[in-house]
Amino acid sequence: MGRLRFFLERTKDVRFVRFWLFLFLAALLFTVLYWQVKPRQYELRLFDVAKETIRSPVTVEDKEATARLKEEAAAKVADVYTLKKEYAENRVDLLSSLFAAIESVQNEAEPDRSPSRMAAKLEERLPPEWLAYLSAEEWQRLLSAAPDELKTAKEAALTAVHAAMNERISQAELEQARAKAAKELEYAALSPPLREAVAKLCRRAVIPNVVYDRTATEEKRRQAMDEVKPVKILQGQVIVEEGQFITSDIYHQLELVGLLDGGRTPWPAAGLFLFVLLLLSPLVYYFRAETTNEKLSLYAAIFTFMLAVMVLIRLLSSGGAVSTGYLVPAAFGPMLVRVLLGERLAMMTAIIGAVCGSLLFNEEIGATGAVSVSLAVYLLAGGLAGTFCLPKELAKAKIWRAGVLVSAVNIVSLLSLLLLKNGRYSLLEISLFVVMAIASGIFSAILTIGLLPLFETTFGILSPLRLIELSNPNHPLLRKLLTEAPGTYHHSIMVANLAEAACEAIGADGLLARVACYYHDIGKTKRPRYFIENQIGGNPHDHLSPQLSKNIIIAHVADGVALLRKHRLPKEIVDIAEQHHGTTLLKYFYHKAREQTELVSEAEFRYPGPKPQTKEAAVINIADSVEAAVRSLANPSQEKIEKIVRAIIADRLQDNQLNECDITLKELEVVARSLCETLNGVFHSRIEYPEVRKEKVKHA
């Protein structure tokens, strides 16, 4: 019981109610939209046959396929070899050293040039690996050559090796390069045996002059891998056709995009959560100021009903959901909010409704993750049209007209979007679109008119439409006032004119003031003859004591409140009827009582109140007294009217009657000017017409 009592006490706190209402709206919006945005899951196995065509809901990279392509691109890159130009000089220097050693051996062997001795000398001068280039016989041919012939052999060998080594020689091209170097000696003036030995020496001198460059090779392979474009599964791309086998590659792609059962991801839910917070943040900002629980609850109810209508239409659609979205009565939510809560909030509702509808009615949201921009524009145009097409002076006929205008806006926006798409639509398709656009506007008007009384009654909200209905002279209470207290009825009409103009001048609700004035003195119908405006002949108060007269006059407030509540009039009108006299003093009967006895308390002759709580009640309080006072003047003039108006306002301020409402002195000055202007228009000077003498008409 303690917790329940605590909760009930907290429900009186607007901030507490606001928190729970926004939490409810966020949860509702998240639940409704998640049903549409959540990734679809399939129960598939390898080598199953696809029962339908499946598309990717997102764009993702197939990292395994991308890595495989990069490896293939790197494998195709050939090894990089760098030309070593110094190798040519080294090999030429080598040959020069060989021939220099041979010449040195020949010179030292003089005069004894025995082959064995020269061979021994040469072995002393050359490394073993160099000696392995030729056989002993071939070295002997070089050693036994004449100096001129040896010189020719040297020059030819150096030229051939140098020419061969200046070109790129890989391991695969080595034999070809050696053959080319040996062929260069064919035209040298050498004996065939010596040419053969020198050619063999040249062949051994030519070696590969390019070496493997690991750094350059890796760089080229890296470039080749970088040039490989990532393998992506595009949003909306067909992964498997209906009737196709689920291969391992297809299964991998389905798993990658999260379409396999068990591959759920929290990211769509997280994204939707942030999206809902962003969508509702304008409402949180709008309702940040103090407001009533009834208005917060009313907005939550309208919002819930708007989503429910969207979900219902979405569930009834069988394919082609985007097209069915054009049937959504997007304007009825903003129209209801416009009538009951205001224009700014209605615009926010139109925007939120358009975004929600574009998500909810996009058939491809689960497959492509995209929002139907065309539908969002269409719904936004209809919602804003419903907001702006409602006039200030509302009536059911005006709502019907707004519904027709919404249909027209729907048609124009829909046709413009179809033309922008440059689509090829048949006459039947275009006609269907137009019919849905018209139905959307008409349904919006029907829902607005049908739900307006329900929301007004349930949440106690007084709408302009309800006020206009209450201002109908055929209302039972107004007919009662007219027939039983006609003077009071005329007085109420005059006060209504004064109060409406004054309230509109200071930005208050003029329509509420007018209608409240119609009913503010309804309590006088219980004893109409005791009020001077209904008296013809004598005054009953002349025969009553001041105390009894006071009780009768004061009772009309309580009688009126009881009568208004009995007929279930809105709380705002009942409050104004209860506050329109505040705690003012009945001066006439108070002074009359004082003449009889000094033992009279002023508090006994005051209305019970409460004092005016709103600007409208304050203005009516002033206008009621002003109208009665000016009407009592024999010859009202502008000066007299202004003097009375300002005197009554000053009296209300001195009597502290306006302390409990938020009207300012500046606004009271505006009210005074407005009352004077209206009264001067009513009690203006009139031409005195001469009396027409009645004469008998002579008949022929």
pLDDT digits (tens, 9 = 90+) for 385-423: 999 888 766 667 788 899 999 999 999 998 888 888 776
- The secondary structure of 112-174, three-state, reads CCCHHHHHHHHHHHCCHHHHCCCCHHHHHHHHCCCHHHHHHHHHHHHHHHHHHHCCCCCCCCH
Rounded distance, CA 177 to CA 163, Å? 10
Token pair for 315: 């569930």
Token pair for 601: 């308390």
Q: Which of 516, 522, 466 is nearest to 618 (CA)?
A: 516
What pLDDT is recorded for position 456? 81
pLDDT digits (tens, 9 = 90+) for 163-210: 888 888 888 888 898 898 888 888 888 888 888 888 888 888 888 888
What pLDDT is recorded for position 231? 84
Region at 568 (left for phi over 0; alpha for psi -120 to 50; beta for the rest): left
Q: Of 276 and 235, which is predicted with more confidence? A: 276
**Other C-beta atoms lying within 10 Å of the C-beta of residue 609:** 15
Q: What is the mean pLDDT of the chain?
A: 84
Q: State mean pLDDT over 453-463.
A: 81
Q: 464 near 394, Cβ under 8 Å?
A: yes
In this model, does residue 217 exceed pLDDT 50?
yes
- Could you tell me which residues are beta bridge partners of residue 60? 233
pLDDT digits (tens, 9 = 90+) for 303-323: 999 999 998 888 876 544 446
What pLDDT is recorded for position 444? 94
Q: Of 486 and 462, which is predicted with more confidence? A: 486
pLDDT band for 443, please (50, 70, 90 cuts). very high
Single pTM value for the model: 0.63
Q: 353 near 330, Cβ under 8 Å?
A: yes
Amino acid letter for position 138 = E
- Tell me the domains of the chain and their CATH numbers: 2-36+265-465 (1.10.1760), 81-212 (no CATH), 472-682 (1.10.3210)
pLDDT digits (tens, 9 = 90+) for 35-70: 776 666 666 777 778 777 877 777 788 888 888 888
Q: Of 460 and 700, which is predicted with more confidence? A: 460
Rg (alpha carbons) of the chain, rounded to whole number: 53
In this model, does residue 106 exceed pLDDT 60?
yes
What pLDDT is recorded for position 423? 64
Range name among 9-23, 228-242, 484-498 with the lowest pLDDT average: 9-23
- The secondary structure of 16-39, three-state, reads HHHHHHHHHHHHHHHHHHHHHHCC
**Other C-beta atoms lying within 10 Å of the C-beta of residue 115:** 14
What pLDDT is recorded for position 282? 86
| Alpha helices (H) along 394-460 | 396-421, 427-459
Preceding peptide of 610 cis, ω within 30°: yes
C-alpha torsion sign, points 229, 233, 238, 244 = positive
Token pair for 499: 């109060």
Q: Which of 557, 21, 632 is nearest to 284 (CA)?
A: 21
Q: 265 near 37, Cβ under 8 Å?
A: no
Token pair for 160: 């051939």
Token pair for 265: 């991801």
- For 252, residues 6+ apart whose C-beta sits below 8 A from its C-beta are 62, 64
Q: How far is CA 452 from CA 301, 374, 406, 464, in A?
A: 12, 30, 18, 11
- For 516, residues 6+ apart whose C-beta sits below 8 A from its C-beta are 499, 572, 573, 576, 577, 580, 616, 617, 620
Helices (H) and strands (E) in the chain, counts: 31, 6
What pLDDT is recorded for position 264? 58
In this model, does residue 8 exceed pLDDT 60?
no
In this model, does residue 1 exceed pLDDT 50?
no
DSSP 212: E
Amino acid letter for position 369 = G
What pLDDT is recorded for position 412? 94
pLDDT digits (tens, 9 = 90+) for 133-168: 888 888 888 888 888 888 888 899 898 888 888 888
What pLDDT is recorded for position 369? 42
How far from each other are the two terminal CA atoms of the chain, in whole angstroms? Answer: 98
Residue 262, classified by CB atoms within 10 Å of its CB into exposed (0-12), middle (13-18) or buried (19+), is: exposed
Rounded distance, CA 366 to CA 55, Å? 9
pLDDT digits (tens, 9 = 90+) for 551-601: 999 999 999 999 999 998 988 999 999 999 999 999 989 998 988 887 788
**Other C-beta atoms lying within 10 Å of the C-beta of residue 34:** 14
pLDDT band for 301, please (50, 70, 90 cuts). very high
DSSP 260: B
What pLDDT is recorded for position 103? 86
**Other C-beta atoms lying within 10 Å of the C-beta of residue 89:** 12
What pLDDT is recorded for position 659? 94
pLDDT band for 290, please (50, 70, 90 cuts). low
Percentage of the chain beyond pLDDT 90 is 33
Token pair for 129: 């690996």
DSSP 364: T
- DSSP string spanning 630-657? HHT-SS--HHHHHHHHHHHHHHHHHTTT
pLDDT digits (tens, 9 = 90+) for 244-256: 878 888 777 777 7
Q: Of 90 and 499, which is predicted with more confidence? A: 499
- For 316, residues 6+ apart whose C-beta sits below 8 A from its C-beta are 324
Rounded distance, CA 307 to CA 525, Å? 47
Q: How far is CA 239 from CA 87, 235, 246, 256, 365, in A?
A: 58, 10, 10, 11, 17
**Other C-beta atoms lying within 10 Å of the C-beta of residue 188:** 18
pLDDT band for 669, please (50, 70, 90 cuts). very high
Q: Of 167 and 463, which is predicted with more confidence? A: 167
User: What interhelical angle do 147-165 and 192-205 show, nearest 10?
Assistant: 30
For the chain, helix, strand, coil in percent to 5 are: 70, 5, 30
Q: How many degrees, rounded to 5, is the angle at CA 261 between CA 258 and CA 266?
A: 50
Percentage of the chain beyond pLDDT 70 is 89
What pLDDT is recorded for position 660? 94
What pLDDT is recorded for position 648? 95
Token pair for 329: 């009565």
Rounded distance, CA 28 to CA 570, Å? 31
What pLDDT is recorded for position 120? 81
Q: How many degrees, rounded to 5, is the angle at CA 196 between CA 106 and CA 86?
A: 80
Q: Which of 350, 345, 329 is nearest to 295 (CA)?
A: 345
Q: 610 near 582, Cβ under 8 Å?
A: yes
In this model, does residue 611 exceed pLDDT 70?
yes
In this model, does residue 685 exceed pLDDT 70?
no
Query: Which own/partner contact pairs does 587-591 have at CB distance under 8 Å and 24+ positions apart?
Result: 589/541, 589/546, 589/547, 589/549, 589/550, 589/553, 590/546, 590/550
pLDDT band for 549, please (50, 70, 90 cuts). very high
C-alpha torsion sign, points 666, 671, 672, 678 = positive
- Annotate 482-493 with b (16+ C-beta within 10 A) or e (fewer): bebbeebbbbbe
pLDDT band for 550, please (50, 70, 90 cuts). very high
Helix (H) or strand (E) holding 81: strand 81-83
- For 411, residues 6+ apart whose C-beta sits below 8 A from its C-beta are 434, 437, 438
